[in-house]
Amino acid sequence: MKKLLTLTALAVFMFTGGQSLAQEKKLITIGTDATWPPFEFVDEKKDLVGFSVEYMKAAAQEGGYEVKIINAAWDGIFGGLINKQYDAICSSVTITDERRKTMDFSTPYFKVSQAVIVPKDSPVKTFDDLKGKTAGSQIGTTGTFAITKAKTINSRPYDEVGLAVEDLYLGRIDAVVCDDAVASNFILENERYKEKLKIALVMDTPESDEYYGVAVRKGDAETLALINKGIEGVKAKGIDKELHSKWISAE
């Protein structure tokens, strides 16, 4: 009888253990360049915070998977995805046709436009007014693409957009081009910049609209499906609007 009970207990253990393994959630690691407030940045406690960081955690909850967010330098962040240092990138990455050639994108989760930051006494009112001037931007971003596409503007790319804004403040360049919410954050959150800098314009037309998406390796359908499920859940419950009020509208 004791032997029978022991075998029964073992069978129950194996069965419940199998259930536990079957219910284990997939872990998705996400790379982000935490230099792009208010979307992803490092706070005074050295924690990764921001709109996108909280969005990805909420999406994991809604999508039924675990998430681990890794701070990675923008220069090389896409190479890190290809080399499997992480499973996805959520770092204010604009979905473009060129990027679609080498990676797949989730459902868009945020709309932005390019903004131009200049000194308060600058006469710049349109993008054409930057002709012959030097504009800074973060390397490899759509801000840099917009500057180089114009061909009449001297482009000065930086590893981080914050370095470009600081050089503008010090008078070393004439303007900075970056996403509108990021521009607002730098102008409104830093008292030094608020006194001396302004947003001259936002290129807000249907043709200039950009959409952030989460990038995954080409053909990784499983990861993409989970992330999309999470994003859909976040939108369905209005969590995205709550995060927008907290991180974006509050500015």
CA atoms within 13 A on the CB side of 240: 13
pLDDT of residue 23: 65
| Ranges assigned E (strand) in the chain | 27-32, 35-36, 40-42, 48-49, 66-71, 88-89, 103-105, 110-112, 114-119, 134-138, 154-158, 175-179, 197-202, 210-212, 215-217
pLDDT at 10: 47
Residue among 112, 92, 88 at smallest CA distance from 51: 92
């994108």: which residue's tokens? Answer: 105
What is the reported pLDDT for 30?
98
Q: In this predicted structure, what is the pLDDT of residue 203?
A: 86
Q: Is the pTM of this model over 0.85?
A: no
pLDDT in single tens digits along all 251 residues of the chain = 444 444 444 444 444 454 444 568 899 999 999 999 999 999 999 999 999 999 999 999 999 999 999 999 999 999 999 999 999 999 999 999 999 999 999 999 999 999 999 999 999 999 999 999 999 999 999 999 999 999 999 999 999 999 999 999 999 999 999 999 999 999 988 999 999 999 999 987 666 789 999 999 999 999 999 999 999 999 999 999 999 999 997 54
